[in-house]
């Protein structure tokens, strides 16, 4: 990678972390998007997915709160109802377009209950194609379940090595990698167990990024917050979870990383916002990196529920989307009040 490319990538990473802004993850795979549509009886068709994504990217004033949007490949290939490319609509709105490039998870052979993310084969050529379509960053998600004897070191190593190889390929192609290691919330594990696993995963990740010679200054980390499992009876306060998350990140994420943008991971939307707010309120400028959001569910779900697949609800759904984006933008600054 030459110096010009390096500075382009570093500038993009900083623009994604712009003050008061975060990312909109709208990169649900078609099966995941369909599952969410099914809840509201919305037809599960490419056209409806297109209409929904169009509603999101054309919400007026979205760029006040959103620096970048992560698209799904289907959306990149579709045109809006006015015949425009989604990438162009985002660029005109002042939002940096990005794309999810992993192809999803499959069972990790010999390791029951664990997954490996696929998508490295042919990725180099796909990334060149995406960069020439105007996309400026790319996301890859690895997942880790907590349970009896899992995650294993083998699962952690396999997934973090894939994340590092994808990140190296992204930077080579001129795309900022959004590196997403997600410790899942499903299970009855405690806050301490979540913290211990998250730290193991992040340590392995940064070791692998180092080994693959990835430029830390030109990536964004997209981690889970450190939280007790959804079925844990000892749910902790917003303060405790924010403290545990920051402690874990401070122990494992080098200061050279330009920013951290959390996934919401199925937390109740309001809680995700409060936890992010608490981290910025209490630690804010004392942290080595800015912390913001890269939420899908925690921003989108109320808008989807309002839309219900009906054109007449589009404006109301966009108003709700903007409201949720604004709340999280305030949380990014530690200024959110319920
Ligand atoms: P959630 O915020 O719904 O977890 O989605 C973020 C994401 O990009 C998952 O890969």
pLDDT of residue 139: 98
Confirm or reject: Cβ of 267 under 6 Å from ligand 1: no
0.95 cut: is pTM over it?
yes
pLDDT of residue 231: 96
Confirm or reject: Cβ of 141 under 6 Å from ligand 1: yes
pLDDT of residue 338: 85
Question: What atom of ligand 1 comes closest to residue 262's alpha carbon?
Answer: 2
At 178, the pLDDT band (50, 70, 90 cuts) reads very high
Q: Which of 180, 182, 193, 274 does the annotation list as catalytic?
A: 180
pLDDT of residue 213: 98
**C-alpha neighbours within 13 Å on the C-beta side of residue 105:** 19
Confirm or reject: Cβ of 142 under 6 Å from ligand 1: no
- Which residues, at least 6 apart from 79, have a Cβ–Cβ distance to it below 8 Å? 85, 86
222 assigned to active site? yes
- Which residues, at least 6 apart from 8, have a Cβ–Cβ distance to it below 8 Å? 174
Residue-wise pLDDT tens digits, 226-259: 999 999 999 999 999 999 999 999 999 999 999 9
Question: Are the CB atoms for 135 and 175 separated by under 8 Å?
Answer: yes
Q: How far is CA 29 from CA 100, 120, 223, 267, in A?
A: 9, 17, 19, 19
Confirm or reject: Cβ of 297 under 6 Å from ligand 1: yes
- Is ipTM beyond 0.90? yes
What is the 105 CA–ligand 1 centroid distance (Å)?
14
pLDDT of residue 262: 98
**Ligand 1 mutation target, pool 221, 264, 266, 301, most atoms within 8 A of CB:** 264
Q: Which residue has the tokens 């303060």?
A: 239
35 assigned to active site? no
At 1, the pLDDT band (50, 70, 90 cuts) reads confident
**Ligand 1 mutation target, pool 100, 295, 331, most atoms within 8 A of CB:** 295
């Amino acid at each position: 990678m030459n110096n010009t490319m390096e500075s382009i990538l570093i500038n993009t990473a900083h623009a994604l972390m712009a003050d008061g802004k975060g990312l909109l993850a709208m990169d649900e795979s078609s099966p995941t998007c369909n599952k969410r549509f099914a809840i509201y009886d919305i037809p599960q068709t490419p056209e409806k997915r297109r209409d929904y994504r169009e509603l999101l990217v054309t919400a007026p004033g979205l760029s006040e709160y959103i620096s970048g949007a992560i698209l799904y490949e289907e959306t990149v290939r579709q045109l809006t109802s006015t015949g425009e490319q989604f990438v162009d609509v985002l660029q005109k709105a002042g939002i940096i377009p990005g794309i999810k490039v992993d192809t999803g998870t499959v069972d990790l052979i010999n390791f029951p209950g664990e997954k490996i993310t696929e998508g490295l084969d042919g990725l180099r050529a796909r990334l060149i194609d995406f960069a020439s379509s105007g996309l400026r960053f790319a996301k890859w998600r690895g997942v880790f379940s907590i349970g009896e004897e899992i995650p294993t070191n083998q699962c952690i190593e396999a997934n973090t090595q894939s994340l590092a190889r994808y990140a190296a390929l992204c930077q080579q192609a001129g795309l900022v990698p959004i590196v997403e290691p997600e410790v899942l919330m499903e299970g009855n594990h405690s806050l301490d167990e979540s913290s211990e696993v998250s730290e193991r995963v992040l340590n392995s990740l940064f070791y692998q990024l180092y080994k693959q010679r990835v430029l830390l200054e030109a990536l964004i980390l997209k981690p889970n917050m450190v939280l007790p499992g959804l079925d844990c009876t000892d749910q902790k306060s917003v303060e405790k979870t924010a403290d545990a998350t920051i402690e874990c990140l401070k122990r494992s994420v080098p200061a050279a990383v330009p920013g951290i943008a959390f996934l919401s991971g199925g937390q109740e939307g309001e809680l995700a916002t409060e936890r992010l707010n608490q981290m910025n309120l209490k630690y804010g400028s004392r942290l080595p990196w800015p912390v913001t959001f890269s939420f899908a569910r925690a921003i989108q779900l109320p808008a989807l529920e309002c839309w219900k697949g009906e054109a007449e609800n589009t404006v109301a759904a966009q108003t709700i989307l903007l409201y949720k984006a604004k709340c999280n933008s305030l949380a990014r600054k530690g200024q959110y009040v319920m």
